[in-house]
Each structure stands twice: as C-alpha cells, then as structure tokens.
C-alpha cells in the first residue's frame, strides 16, 4: 500500500505498492494475443506511473485507460503520457482515471484488462464481480491478463471465463467466445 500518497476510497489497505511492469513481458504478450486491437479497450487496473499504458498505446487499441487510486501516481502517469513521443502512439486515445479499481465503471465493448499484482483478494473480488456484472449487461469478449496472479480465485469462479496459462508469471482469463489466438498458450 502507498501510505505517502493521497489515495481515493477505502481500499488502500488492500493495495500493493507501485512497481512498473517489465516492458519485455507486455511487449511479448500483446502480439501473442492476436486480438483485433481496434475492437478492444485496454484497461490497466492499478496503472501506477503509466508504464503499461505507454506500452499498450503503441498498439492500435480502440482506447487505452488506466485506473489508479494514488493521486501522485496519477499525476506522474499523465505527465509521462504527455511526454511520450506522439509518433509512437497508435491507439484511439489514452486516459488516466483517478479512482478505485473496485468501483470502476468498465467501458462498453471488448476489453483487455491488465493487472500487475495490484491489490489483495478483497479488491480482486470486487473487480471480478464488477466484470461479471458488465458481462451480464453486455456479453462480449473479455481478456484478463493477470501478471503475478496471487489472487486468481475470484476469476476462476466466473463461469463465463476460462483460464489459460501463459507462463509462471502470467495467467489469462478469457471469455469462451474469445477469438484471439489460443494456440500460443496451454489451457489450465
Ligand atoms: C504493482 S503496481 C503496477 C503498476 C502498473 N500497472 C504497471 O504495470 O506498470 C500496482 C498499482 O496498483 C495501484 N492500486 C492498488 N490498489 C488499487 C485500487 N484499489 N485501485 C486503483 N489502483 C490501485 C497501486 O497504487 C500501484 O500503483
């Protein structure tokens, strides 16, 4: 948890301190998913200083959205995005939302939800239930890329998702309708 920052909401006790994702991991994963990027909104829940947003913005996603509850980290993420070379950006738009991932209103349409060990089981359950409600309202492709998957149980309990193991550090939960490339990964 980040006690030195201004954190919005009550979930700060369940948060994990900021650490940026290894760029190589995400850079390898995103092409392997073989998505129609234009259809998908990329959502990083616990976006920190925006590293994964920068990496994702180099793919032609419909939009790239980060949710971060620590105000200071949000400000740094927005600053980093402003300084990022325009020429590298291929997505339809980038946004950093200051808020609690457990209460985030998910965008419409197909989603790639990225998480790098951002919070404990209590918030993970809120997030998974939120995704469950969003899917019930609007069934669509949802891919959850969970890096350092310490709390997979709330995802495994959602009947419309199946688990795909990428490697020791990454698990995917994908809707059964997922049309991306499964051949690159082994089923759990
Ligand atoms: C391990 S860092 C990952 C940073 C970024 N996703 C990346 O991969 O570079 C986890 C981040 O989640 C944020 N976080 C923890 N709990 C959160 C919550 N409930 N809502 C929003 N952000 C949260 C922390 O402040 C921290 O910045």
Classify residue 22: in a domain, yes or no: no
Report the C-alpha gap between 100 and 47 in whole angstroms: 11
What are the Cα distances from residue 65, in Å, to 78, 116, 150, 153, 157? 11, 15, 23, 25, 25
CATH number at residue 99: 3.40.50.150
pLDDT for the residue numbered 7: 75
- Pick from 14-23, 101-110, 144-153, 155-164: least confident: 14-23
Classify residue 26: in a domain, yes or no: no
Q: Which atom of ligand 1 is nearest to the CA of 100?
A: 20
Report the C-alpha gap between 143 and 115 in whole angstroms: 11
- Pick from 41-45, 67-71, 83-87: least confident: 83-87
Classify residue 1: in a domain, yes or no: no
Classify residue 31: in a domain, yes or no: no
Pocket probe for ligand 1: among 118, 130, 144, the residue whose CB has the most ligand atoms within 8 Å is 118
Q: Is the pLDDT of residue 163 over 60?
A: yes
Q: Is the pLDDT of residue 186 over 90?
A: no
Classify residue 12: in a domain, yes or no: no
CB atoms within 10 A of CB 31: 12
Question: What is the Å distance from ligand 1's center to 45 Cα?
Answer: 6
Range of the domain at 138: 37-178
Is the shortest distance between the CB of 66 and ligand 1 below 6 Å? Answer: no
Report the C-alpha gap between 114 and 30 in whole angstroms: 11
185 vs 100, more confident: 100
Rounded to the nearest integer, the mean pLDDT of the chain is 91
Name the residue with the closest Cα to ligand 1, atom 10. Answer: 118
Classify residue 112: in a domain, yes or no: yes
| Band of pLDDT at residue 4, cut at 50, 70 and 90 | very low
Pocket probe for ligand 1: among 3, 10, 15, the residue whose CB has the most ligand atoms within 8 Å is 15
Classify residue 62: in a domain, yes or no: yes
Q: Which atom of ligand 1 is nearest to the CA of 7?
A: 25
Classify residue 32: in a domain, yes or no: no
Number of domains within the chain: 1
Name the residue with the closest Cα to ligand 1, atom 13. Answer: 46
Taking the chain, what is the end-to-end CA distance rounded to the nearest angstrom?
Answer: 31
Report the C-alpha gap between 25 and 120 in whole angstroms: 22
- Percent pLDDT > 70 in the chain is 94
């Amino acid at each position: 948890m980040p006690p030195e920052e201004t954190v919005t909401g009550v979930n700060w006790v369940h948060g994990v301190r900021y650490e940026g994702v290894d760029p190589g991991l995400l850079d390898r994963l995103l092409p392997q998913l073989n998505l129609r990027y234009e259809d998908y909104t990329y959502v990083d829940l616990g976006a920190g200083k925006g590293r994964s947003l920068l990496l994702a913005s180099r793919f032609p996603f419909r939009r790239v959205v980060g949710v971060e509850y620590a105000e200071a980290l949000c400000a740094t993420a927005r600053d980093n995005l402003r300084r990022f070379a325009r020429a590298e950006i291929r997505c339809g738009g980038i946004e950093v939302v200051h808020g609690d991932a457990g209460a985030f209103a998910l965008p419409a349409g197909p989603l790639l939800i990225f998480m790098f060990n951002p919070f404990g089981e209590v918030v993970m359950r809120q997030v998974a239930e939120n995704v469950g409600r969003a899917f019930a309202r609007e069934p669509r492709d949802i891919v959850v890329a969970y890096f350092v998957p310490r709390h997979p149980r709330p995802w495994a309990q959602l009947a419309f998702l199946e688990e795909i193991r990428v490697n020791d550090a990454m698990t995917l939960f994908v809707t059964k309708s997922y049309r991306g490339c499964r051949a690159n990964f082994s089923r759990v």
